[in-house]
Chain A
């Protein structure tokens, strides 16, 4: 067996922060288990990426390389990693919990008779892996009970990537055989859904609305508040799914990531898919009727109450304060 391995994700030669956070999670786990932490990069031509990773990893870096690994397909990645695991026999494989990892890692695990411990937010002694349940209202502590490789993916923001120690890892190439006939899906080029007309990312103040608003006809209530504050209006996914606000106003893993000076969440319970898009905000205010809503776990200020009473009162108070 050969320790902890982190699978780095690259999109067009760029490594996202979440992959460095996965390295940090790997280091955290490796320190607990006393194992070295290595990394793999995957694709058709990974030399540049591997060099970048080698500067931040203490163990080894392996380029899992094949022409059929570009573009990404779940079958290609599963076949390649299955072969890598058979050859290297890692104890732990740590993935960033991205849409791509969610797409192939559960199938890879099943192929190995394993189960991915996905979307992990913490690692305790044992090791015990903590992940969120019930839309973030509860945490569950999971253990890998069987033998063989333990597959774990870590949530964006759960581990800090800014303090990675410099490394000078040795880079080698692993070239798995991949039969083109085993790749059963044909992916198209990524495209933008709609013209992105609102750049929430640069808005200093955001008022965001969620399910608690109940109906599209109640939206003017929060629009008034946003106008009074001089804030952009944003929303959680269900509001955009219902077509009440356009998709380019959506904050969260499938929408925009924002970090304004003020994020005022109205009637948003705070499912993790939403929190990852806004928890970097400087000040978070939550208005929600449910005192146990997960949004209060990240909020600086909270008002527990009926938004249909609180929001109009707040709009009036803001207007008065600005006069």
Chain B
């Protein structure tokens, strides 16, 4: 089974984000980056499928030079090789533009299965996998927690709202977008990290993929959200703040 996992490098979850001077995006120079959370689950699912059925796991990621670090981490966890689509300014593209880059790089590989995370922790669009399926002309299922593969067909467990689930059957080739939490994530071993250094990372540029489509949807600028409620911050030491909160809970909220 040949599996391609599309992964994204995103700012670390706890990173303090600042709006850049031009107001269009965040200041990236002092940020730490990491593998997007649901993409880590997509990678884990791919590695487990390979362990069961054999085959190859290829990771693909688009972005600037720094993305190489996240690709190496995926290789260290057990992916066999990687494709890095070098693109300095993905921000100029919309979800369709990014998916077109990925589709152009994926197509010649003819994979049996393409996995993506459900959504990214930075833009949160949650569209790339679904658009990718449309561009590749293959069936798909989204919000997947568990994958069973047999005889060219898939049976997957899809998450619905409010604690409900559903099974979906589809044939391969296919695209699945993976929800976080379905598996336990593995760590890279020392041996894995060592091996990753010798694994192939193929680099292609957006220009080489022959794409230049104008964005249909554009991000005009970013801003801090306005508050929905007026929050009263209770100051002081832990003890003082706790005492102040108990006063509020007793006399204003009346729950003590």
Measured CB to CB, the residues of A under 8 A from B are 74-75, 98-99, 102-104, 106-107, 109-111, 113-119, 128, 131-146, 184-194, 196, 204-205, 211, 229, 237-238, 240-241, 247-248, 250, 253-257, 261-262, 269, 272, 279, 282-286, 290-292, 294, 296-306, 309-310, 313-314, 316-318, 320-322
| A163 CB to nearest chain B CB (Å) | 18
- B29 at interface (Cβ–Cβ under 8 A)? no
Bound complex: CA of A99 vs CA of B127, how far in Å? 12
Q: Restricting to B216-253, which residues have a CB under 8 Å from any CB of A?
A: 216-225, 227-234, 238-239, 241-243, 245-246, 248-250, 253
| A273 CB to nearest chain B CB (Å) | 9
| A222 CB to nearest chain B CB (Å) | 14
Contact A297 B11 (CB under 8 A): no
Given contacts A99-B159, A103-B143, A138-B222, contact A113 B164 (CB under 8 A): no
Bound complex: CA of A279 vs CA of B227, how far in Å? 13
Q: Binary interface profile of B, 132-176, with partner A (CB < 8 Å = 1, else 0)?
A: 011100011111000000000000000111111111111100000
Contact B124 A145 (CB under 8 A): no
Bound complex: CA of A310 vs CA of B123, how far in Å? 32
Q: Considering residues A136, A185, A253, which has the most beta carbons from chain B within 10 angstroms of its beta carbon?
A: A185
Contact B96 A261 (CB under 8 A): no
Q: B160: which A residues are within 8 A, CB to CB?
A: 99, 190
Contact B245 A301 (CB under 8 A): yes
**Which of B14-22, B48-56, B80-88 is found at the contact surface with chain A?**
B14-22
Q: A300: which B residues are within 8 A, CB to CB?
A: 229-232
| B239 CB to nearest chain A CB (Å) | 5
| B41 CB to nearest chain A CB (Å) | 9
Q: Restricting to B114-130, which residues have a CB under 8 Å from any CB of A?
A: 121-127, 130
Contact residue among A116, A290, A299 (Cβ-Cβ distance under 8 Å from B231): A299
Contact B231 A318 (CB under 8 A): no
Contact B216 A321 (CB under 8 A): no
Contact B26 A134 (CB under 8 A): yes
Contact residue among A119, A139, A272, A285 (Cβ-Cβ distance under 8 Å from B223): A139
Contact B130 A103 (CB under 8 A): yes
Contact A134 B242 (CB under 8 A): no
Contact B225 A262 (CB under 8 A): no
Residue of B nearest to A194 (CB): B163
Contact B162 A298 (CB under 8 A): no
Q: B64: which A residues are within 8 A, CB to CB?
A: none
Contact A186 B168 (CB under 8 A): yes
Contact B223 A138 (CB under 8 A): yes
Contact A303 B233 (CB under 8 A): yes
Q: A292: which B residues are within 8 A, CB to CB?
A: 16
Bound complex: CA of A102 vs CA of B249, how far in Å? 39
Contact A99 B234 (CB under 8 A): no
| B215 CB to nearest chain A CB (Å) | 6
Contact B238 A138 (CB under 8 A): no
Q: B256: which A residues are within 8 A, CB to CB?
A: 229, 318, 321-322
Q: B133: which A residues are within 8 A, CB to CB?
A: 107
Q: B130: which A residues are within 8 A, CB to CB?
A: 74, 102-104, 106-107, 110
Q: Restricting to B155-204, which residues have a CB under 8 Å from any CB of A?
A: 159-171, 179-181
| A149 CB to nearest chain B CB (Å) | 11
Contact A185 B245 (CB under 8 A): no
Contact A302 B233 (CB under 8 A): yes
Contact B142 A298 (CB under 8 A): no
Contact B181 A303 (CB under 8 A): no
Contact residue among A118, A145, A189 (Cβ-Cβ distance under 8 Å from B166): A189
| A51 CB to nearest chain B CB (Å) | 25
Contact A284 B181 (CB under 8 A): no
Contact A193 B131 (CB under 8 A): no
Contact B19 A135 (CB under 8 A): no
* 30 intermolecular pairs with C-beta atoms under 8 Å apart: A74-B130, A74-B141, A102-B130, A102-B143, A103-B130, A110-B96, A118-B127, A135-B121, A137-B17, A138-B19, A139-B223, A141-B221, A145-B216, A145-B217, A185-B169, A186-B169, A190-B160, A191-B164, A192-B165, A238-B180, A240-B181, A248-B163, A254-B163, A262-B249, A286-B231, A302-B234, A313-B238, A314-B245, A317-B242, A318-B246
